[in-house]
Chain A
């Protein structure tokens, strides 16, 4: 029997699993290597509080990356996530001006996220439009609304107990955000790897038509995935707004590409059909460690982006080159 490029997960389970395993091992090695390199490069790296501060560089992005991973595995993408953060944060800021308390703010943040996700989902699944086009449009739309509302102004004056979500510590150096990140990682890993819903996501990504004819409700599942991505953007908006204590329309600018990078670095195929949550978790740590380590060396941000880009290309290209060399 000849192997094809498209794997049908149920039948090719063992080769797929080995491949995923080796991918995650490779990533883990990279993460450890970066950790060791950082400890040698900067005397300030190995310090519990400094490392704790560094986790804020990726926790909020990673929360969205989990939902984004599911969406990309199903063959869709959402580039409007950072703009959803901006809109949700603006809505929360506006509510504060009318005297909203912390519970209302959380409801508004999550609600706006869900609404934006539903809007994206309806356009993609209801009208059959390509998600990349729809979400490039809503990327401008959602942030555009924030710019119209705020201009060069800012919302502030968040209640003091609201600050806990972004600045609070659960125990010693373990921040609330880090705990939330871990809990969400487990939840998403269970959804993707242990439920029928998760199996259906792989099936849709590998062959949407086949999935449809197998009785999987493709449109409904995709719609739910857009809702989840919107919801996670709402969660990230709450954490980030709480951490900053103020809202400007430029909030979270450019995050969508960092989130997609995190997902792809985590081993999720950009074409859909394969990937894992543990991979995304390790990728989040890799990106966090790289940006923090380079930050300690005062490497300018633009050079950091170059480094992340090279890392992405390297991690993706190396296994392919390797297997090609072994075949030859």
Chain B
């Protein structure tokens, strides 16, 4: 039994060290549940959540998630958060439906539940915070091209596949607002199917077919990188500007070479910050989630909810030579 005693003592000691300072009663505990730990995008969101907590003062952030991006892993995590009686859970879901039962139980116990980034089905949360909206993205991608074409010019769109719902919606939204950009003409829309080599060839084709082309808009992270490479290889830097939606880590080279002046994508720091602010305001009764209503989110302004109880945070965030170094290591 000596061994057993020793194990018992060791475990007890380990437990004592592992136990955190017990939360005081007036501390608001907000759990930020992510798809999996160790992903740069979510680490950055946690940074934003901490920023919100520092601003609010009496908030403790519990940044947690499973090790693999599975729904069952998130359920285990959420079960233990329910058991601890946290004040709010803000989750980026691995599965919109699988998390509904466990999140409903959380809400039954009086826990505020919101989803952000990757949403949960409406019955499993009080509201969903989308990083941006289709309309904002559609306007942003043409704005990015127009910023560098004060006298107008020719632009072409390099999309993913012809059946890609996201890209088609964004391009349709872009066409809605083209009237605000006189002098800018969309000469072609081509499809690279989100394959690097096909996107590269399509970009090459655009430059050959339209010698006066001024910009390529690629609202896809695969297409934008391939197009920038094609422009660089064709020696067209300075004549054709590649823009659209991309990841800072993959686009840093194109920004440095000048093949791309700027591009956009959501900012994970702002997203984590806004989700925390919303979770705080809902759990403290400073705001209620109702269709058509709005919820304040600190420095990010307010989010307005539609009839599915979801709302968009902001315009996509613009990345250019001034901030690419800060974000290239994050995601």
Contacts and interface: CB of A to CB of B under 8 A. Distances in A.
Interface string A5-31: 000000000000000000001100110
Given A37-B15, A156-B97, A296-B80, A29 B70 contact: no
A43 B83 contact: no
A207 to B, nearest CB: 31
Interface in A282-304: 291-302
A180 to B, nearest CB: 17
B33 to A, nearest CB: 11
Contacts of B73: 301
A26 B3 contact: yes
Nearest to A39: B15
B83 A44 contact: yes
A278 interface: no
A277 B32 CA distance: 39
B101 interface: yes
Contact of B97 (A246, A253, A295, A297): A246
- Among B82, B95, B101, residue most surrounded by chain A Cβ atoms (within 10 Å): B95
Interface stretch (B17-25, B142-150, B182-190): B17-25
B4 A26 contact: yes
Given A44-B84, A297-B20, A302-B37, A53 B79 contact: yes
Interface in B76-90: 76-77, 79-80, 82-85
Contacts of B330: none
Nearest to B73: A301
Nearest to B8: A33
A154 interface: yes
Contacts of B67: 254, 300-302, 305
Contacts of B71: 244, 246, 248, 251
Contact of B65 (A53, A299, A301, A318): A301
Contact of A154 (B72, B85, B95): B95
A25 B3 CA distance: 11
13 contacts: A56-B76, A56-B79, A154-B97, A245-B100, A246-B97, A252-B72, A254-B68, A293-B15, A295-B76, A297-B18, A302-B37, A302-B67, A319-B3
Interface of A: 25-26, 29-30, 33-34, 36-38, 40-45, 47, 50, 53-54, 56-57, 154, 156, 167, 240, 243-246, 248, 250-254, 291-302, 305, 314, 318-319, 322
